Structure 1
Amino acid sequence: MSVFLIIVIVILLYIIYFQYKSKRHISTNLKYIYEKLNSIIANNTSEKLLAFTDDKELIHILIEINKLLEHNQKIQADYSKVEVAMRKMLSNISHDLKTPLTVVLGYIETINLDKNINNEEREVLLGKVENKTKEVMELINKFFDLAKLESGDKDIPLTRINMNEVCRKNILDFYDILTSKGIEVIIDIPEKNMYSLGNEEALDRIINNLISNAIKYGSEGGVLGLSLKSDEKYVYVEVWDKGKGINEVHKDRVFERMYTLEDSRNKLYQGGGLGLTITKRLVEKLKGEIFLDSKPFDKTSFTVRLKRINY
């Protein structure tokens, strides 16, 4: 009887010791998790939690905490990226607003202070003031359009759109400008109508922006093209040119806010840097995608892909 009692006591002691060790191990891991989380948050690092344990519940908790840390780190990285982009955008906007406004003030001062100025000279200066003011208004309007698109305040209802008509209308709007510049126009729009999910006003602006961009940056290639194609699922609108193209370094950044090519501050290539950003946001509002492919002086193309409607 005493032997049996001793065995029971030993087993109970082992159980108590095992439970104590297990609890201590859990306590150590919880302390590690607490201290490590505090360190990660305080130092804003990208570390993860790593604990050696056989406790399945604790393992699940660690996995979920690491997922949460990854999500938080991604949000912080995205926020930092947006913050840098916003700073750059505001800096560029202030520059692009300051320059024409300074010119406008200069013209107005000349008109007010020069008592010998004749009516013809005054009219010329007033015309320049008007043009510069329009530049400022255009930039401000683009900025607010982008702000509305990104905040979701701009409502863009989606309907069935005849893409053939939209493409013909927009390329015809530029036809006189293109021919006056000696640019060959190549149009590939099939006779059979293609329909997509879209918004006519948004599509007009998208294609208008892409054609304007091709004229501004690709006119030296002497050719500009617009093509409309489709497959079973999508409709594709491609605007292309044979100009200087876009270097690989810039290809991933041309859709960023206020991003312009290195020579875009030159008068020939001057631009506010919002046109392609607005274009991309509009395409996304239409549930579509936009792609860029560029081989300098061979073919630089922007292709918009939209969902096809077959009825």
Structure 2
Amino acid sequence: MLWLLLLCVALIILVFVLLIKIILLRRAVDEIRTGFQERLEQDTNTMIAVSSGDRRIRRLAAEINVQLRLLRKERRRLQNGDLEIREAVMNISHDLRTPLTAVCGYLDLLKREEKSEAAKRYLKAIENRTEALKQLMEELFRYSFTTSAPDGENEEVDLNRVLEESISAYYASLKGAGIEPEIAMPEKKIWRRLDKRALSRIFENIIGNAIKYSDGDLNITLSENGEIVFSNSASSLDEIQTGKLFDRFYTVESARKSTGLGLSIAKALTEQMGGEITAKYHDGRIFIRVLFAP
């Protein structure tokens, strides 16, 4: 009987030791998981540290740290490359402004001269292309500046009021396009801590997009959870085209005067402020959803 008692005691001790080992391993795994998540979200040179003395756990942490160093190096390389591209675009856009302005000036002078009908047609075509190029250069400059500039100063912003102001700013253009917007907002003020100027730019770019593609309607809904939905019928679009609307420089045939940067800028600004923006196409309508969570 004594040996049976000793065996039971040994088994209890073994189980107790194993439980402690499992608890320590789980704690070490949680440390690695938390540390990995924190280092993905922060730009820091601090590596993952674990309290466990288990050599396999410590080896796992060391290998993850190696991959984190490589990931951080690659991220910085991409960020520096992206910054260089933006600065180059800004410089090119700025350098092209002067000769383009001169071209526009000479075109104005040429319009005053006697011309044949054919020359008038050619001049009109040149003016149209020059104006499109001028608009593209301006949008390139704005896009590069917007996406490379540091975040603006955030403040408590009334979503209702900013949305109303944006709609009012485009009301004449909406009327000119035969669009009478239908607006639904709660009486309760929806407050978020955001950059007011950036938020106005987002709303205005989305409304401008609706003017380009709408078949003559626009519904705007603001919900109490901070979600804003812009929807309109758009027979010129389809599901594939809608999925590309946030791509830089993407346009469709029905929007020849568009540079394809409006919604791309809206997406960049929304994400800079921690929001979400999506677009989907359903039953002949396009839905652009913007959400700023509390």
- Mark yes or no: TM-score above 0.5: yes
- Structure label with greater radius of gyration: 1
1:65 aligns with 2:63: yes
Q: Distance in 1 between matches of 2:280 and 2:79?
A: 25
Q: Distance in 2 between matches of 1:136 and 1:276?
A: 19
The SS at the match of 1:230 is coil
Q: Distance in 1 between matches of 2:163 and 2:265?
A: 19
1:247 aligns with 2:244: no
1:143 aligns with 2:140: yes
Match of 2:267 in 1: 280
Q: How many residues get paired?
A: 232
Q: Distance in 2 between matches of 1:225 and 1:214?
A: 10
- Identity between Structure 1 and Structure 2 (%): 21
1:225 aligns with 2:219: yes
1:58-107, CA deviations, whole angstroms, 9 ceiling, x for partnerless residues?
774466336634773697599789979x99xx99xx9xx99xx99x9599
The correspondence of residues 47-126 of structure 1 with structure 2, limited to 5 A, is: 57=55, 60-61=58-59, 64-65=62-63, 68-69=66-67, 72=70, 108=106, 112=110, 116-117=114-115
1:260 aligns with 2:250: yes
The structure-2 alpha-carbon separation of the partners of 1:106 and 1:182, relative to structure 1 and needing over 3 Å to count, comes to: closer
Match of 1:198 in 2: 194
The structure-2 alpha-carbon separation of the partners of 1:246 and 1:259, relative to structure 1 and needing over 3 Å to count, comes to: farther
1:257-309, CA deviations, whole angstroms, 9 ceiling, x for partnerless residues?
x2414x3xx36444222211211121123222212222151x3111211144x
Aligned partner (choices 267, 271, 279) of residue 258 of structure 2: 271
The SS at the match of 1:304 is strand
Aligned partner (choices 265, 280, 289) of residue 293 of structure 1: 280
Match of 2:289 in 1: 303
The answer to whether the Cα contact below 8 Å between 2:246 and 2:264 also exists between their aligned partners in 1 is: yes
CA RMSD of aligned residues (A): 4.6
The answer to whether the Cα contact below 8 Å between 2:242 and 2:279 also exists between their aligned partners in 1 is: no
The answer to whether the Cα contact below 8 Å between 1:243 and 1:296 also exists between their aligned partners in 2 is: no
Structure 1 unpaired stretches of 5+: 1-55
Structure number with the bigger relative contact order (C-alpha 8 A, sep ≥ 6) is 1
Query: Could you state the TM-score of these two structures normalised by the residue count of structure 2?
Result: 0.59
Query: Could you state the TM-score of these two structures normalised by the residue count of structure 1?
Result: 0.57
The SS at the match of 1:223 is coil
Q: Distance in 1 between matches of 2:147 and 2:138?
A: 14
Match of 2:17 in 1: none
Q: Distance in 2 between matches of 1:227 and 1:240?
A: 9
The answer to whether the Cα contact below 8 Å between 1:238 and 1:302 also exists between their aligned partners in 2 is: yes
Q: Distance in 2 between matches of 1:198 and 1:144?
A: 23
Match of 1:12 in 2: none
Aligned partner (choices 166, 170, 177) of residue 173 of structure 2: 177
